[in-house]
Amino acid sequence: MHRRSTFPRFPFVAAALVGALLALTACTGEPDRNGVVVTGIVPAPAEFELADGSPFTLTDAARLVAVGGGARAVAETFAAPARAATGFPLPVVDGDAEASDDSTARSTDLELVVDADAALGNEGYTLVSGADGVRITASAPAGLFLGTQSLRQLLPAEIEHADATRSPDGGWLVPAVSIADEPRFAYRASLVDVARNFIAVDDVLDHLDRMALLKLNVLHLHLTDDQGWRLQIDAWPELTGVGASTSVGGGGGGFYTKDDYRRIVDYAAERFITVVPEIDLPGHTNAALSAYPELNCDGVAREPYEGVEVGFSSLCADPARAEATDRFLADVLSEVAELTPGPWIHVGGDEPLATEHDDFLDLVGRITTAAAATGKTVIAYHEMGASSELPPGTIGHYWDLTAAHEMAPNRRDEPVRPYPESAGQARSFLEQGGRLVLAPADTTYLDMMYPDRPAGPLGTELGTRWASTITLEEAYAWRPEETVEGLEESDILGVAASIWTETIETVPDFEFMVFPRIAAIAEVGWSPADARDEAGFRTRLVTLGAHLDALGVAYRKVGGVDWAE
């Protein structure tokens, strides 16, 4: 993927903003509290109440008063872009709620409090705003950060601007609200395929920033596939030397050096997002097989591949190649784990169509043993559930269709159902002490077309339909607990919204397919099931859309939402 330098981001943004303000003030009869139109936050907080009092106004007198361990770093992460957008100094000061001096928050301040006694989960927070100031309280820095992301959506969309040339007409108002919030699921991922088409570091950082806005907390990077190997591995330099030169369609390649990758991990960590690296094994390995002949059973390097077929490549299970395969697994997975502060390493396992079943089981054993030896918890696609000898606690990643997959008339014309074995493979992870990440292709794969198959921003048709087409409403209506029959809520570690990039080469194309459907999956993953309602979601999307416009995101303005023009 590459950013088109000709993409007319800023004129587009400016026009959209004027429209956003008009649309917000004209918007669907939403409550207007003391001059602030309030549509709410995506994902919907567990509890959200409009208070009767006057709004808070952010002014150049505002300070960020940080109280408790870790609060200062969160305050700085919030303050940096807010200073750029407002032009206000927004100093961060260490607060002391007990003192009656400058360290006590004033009515013009934002107070950010980490209080271990607050009895909120790691990601929970409360936010109270009004004429007396804004106070966000959390038990842990992660929750405090997530509270600042709610505040970001409560502020005018101009808060997203990287410069202070456009202040909002009515001032920097925050409506008077009271929020108590925590997530439904602990793992809320955006899966990004950087293998079929490469995505540059700065574009990944932009995506992380938008993920934070939606309270997504895992960036799953699909780093390797048949068409490209995207991460530097010192012990096997040709993985990128040869394996990174290609992508789908022959548009060139790319890869992350270790320093690039650390930049991504660090930027994510500042936003309490964990990067989950995926090395897809034993299939989807043509890029590696093209780089090293000794990984192939016949000792002959494969040709580089730039097509879109799947299921034709495999590591070799032949004992004659075991030494090379095992050395490859140990070297690659340990170097990846070294770059990974988070608890998880993902080893793929999907579509092993070119691997005999017994060989697959043998390779799953060797792959997961090497991955577990790094000290990380292993995540694998559900196919690896065919093995009953997974490392205890291995997380299963289910990507087949939902159990209740229905054929709607505007969906794929031939019947598709989940493979009969997929549900059992998913349950095998539960039987072996693990949990599930749910990412059913017919509901959460954001590379599936919209049913009306619109041309993308650059005039090309985007996406595929092998699983389904997916509307915003279909993504929103997803009930994760019904993805596989017989799931308990506690079986579910979380959810993922995936973007596979076979048809996606540019940032605007990526954004068009990802947004706004990713917001639906974010809300499914975060909000209590009974806090979700489609009409409210559409209304809240108006505000989110204004923020995305200000960020220059080329999201699709799907019907049924009063988007700013």
Catalytic residue set: 351
Rounded to the nearest whole angstrom, what is the least distance from the CB of residue 191 to ligand ACM in the complex?
Answer: 8
In the window 140-199, what residues touch ligand ACM (CB under 6 A)?
none
The count of chain residues that interact with ligand ACM, using the rule CB under 6 A, is 4
Q: How many helices (H) and strands (E) does the chain have?
A: 15, 21
Strands, DSSP E only, in 468-563? 492-499
Q: Is 344 near ligand ACM (CB under 6 A)?
A: no
Helix residue ranges per DSSP H, 138-278 = 141-154, 201-213, 238-241, 258-270
- Map residues 304-343 to x or -, x wherever contact with ligand ACM holds by CB under 6 A: ----------------------------------------
- What's the CA gap between 509 and 476, in Å, rounded? 21
Question: How is residue 210 written in tokens?
Answer: 């938008």
Name the residue number minimizing CB distance to ligand ACM.
Answer: 350
- What's the CA gap between 390 and 388, in Å, rounded? 6
Bridge-partner residues for 93, per DSSP?
A: 65
129 vs 444, beta carbon nearer ligand ACM: 444
Q: Is 398 near ligand ACM (CB under 6 A)?
A: no
484 vs 550, beta carbon nearer ligand ACM: 484
> How many beta carbons lie within 10 A of that of residue 404, not counting itself?
12
400: closest CA among 342, 467, 461?
467
**70, 139 contact by CB (below 8 A):** no
Calculate the CA 42 to chain-centre distance: 14
**498, 160 contact by CB (below 8 A):** no
**What would the 3-class secondary structure string for 428-453 be?**
HHHHCCCCEEECCHHHHECCECCCCC
Rounded to the nearest whole angstrom, what is the least distance from the CB of residue 425 to ligand ACM in the complex?
Answer: 13
Quickly tell me which residue has 């505000």 as its tokens: 543
Q: Are strands 377-381 and 395-398 parallel, antiparallel or unpaired?
A: parallel
Q: Is 381 near ligand ACM (CB under 6 A)?
A: yes
Rounded to the nearest whole angstrom, what is the least distance from the CB of residue 441 to ligand ACM in the complex?
Answer: 6
Rounded to the nearest whole angstrom, what is the least distance from the CB of residue 498 to ligand ACM in the complex?
Answer: 7
158 vs 350, beta carbon nearer ligand ACM: 350
Q: For 224, what's the count of Cα atoms within 13 Å in the CB-facing half-sphere?
A: 33
Grouping H, G, I as helix, E, B as strand and the rest as coil, residue 302 is: coil
Rounded to the nearest whole angstrom, what is the least distance from the CB of residue 349 to ligand ACM in the complex?
Answer: 9
Question: How is residue 29 written in tokens?
Answer: 């009869």
Candidate residues 399, 510, 526, 555; the one interacting with ligand ACM per rule CB under 6 A: 399
**405, 468 contact by CB (below 8 A):** yes
517: closest CA among 485, 561, 481, 483?
561
**493, 438 contact by CB (below 8 A):** no
37: closest CA among 177, 210, 181, 178?
177
In the window 347-376, what residues touch ligand ACM (CB under 6 A)?
350-351
65 vs 439, beta carbon nearer ligand ACM: 439
Rounded to the nearest whole angstrom, what is the least distance from the CB of residue 351 to ligand ACM in the complex?
Answer: 5
110 vs 437, beta carbon nearer ligand ACM: 437
96 vs 351, beta carbon nearer ligand ACM: 351
Quickly tell me which residue has 């060139």 as its tokens: 252
Rounded to the nearest whole angstrom, what is the least distance from the CB of residue 118 to ligand ACM in the complex?
Answer: 39
Rounded to the nearest whole angstrom, what is the least distance from the CB of residue 279 to ligand ACM in the complex?
Answer: 13
316: closest CA among 277, 368, 281?
281
**504, 197 contact by CB (below 8 A):** yes
Rounded to the nearest whole angstrom, what is the least distance from the CB of residue 464 to ligand ACM in the complex?
Answer: 11
62 vs 347, beta carbon nearer ligand ACM: 347
372 vs 439, beta carbon nearer ligand ACM: 439
**120, 143 contact by CB (below 8 A):** yes
513: closest CA among 184, 171, 207?
207
34 vs 464, beta carbon nearer ligand ACM: 464
Residues near ligand ACM (CB under 6 A): 350-351, 381, 399
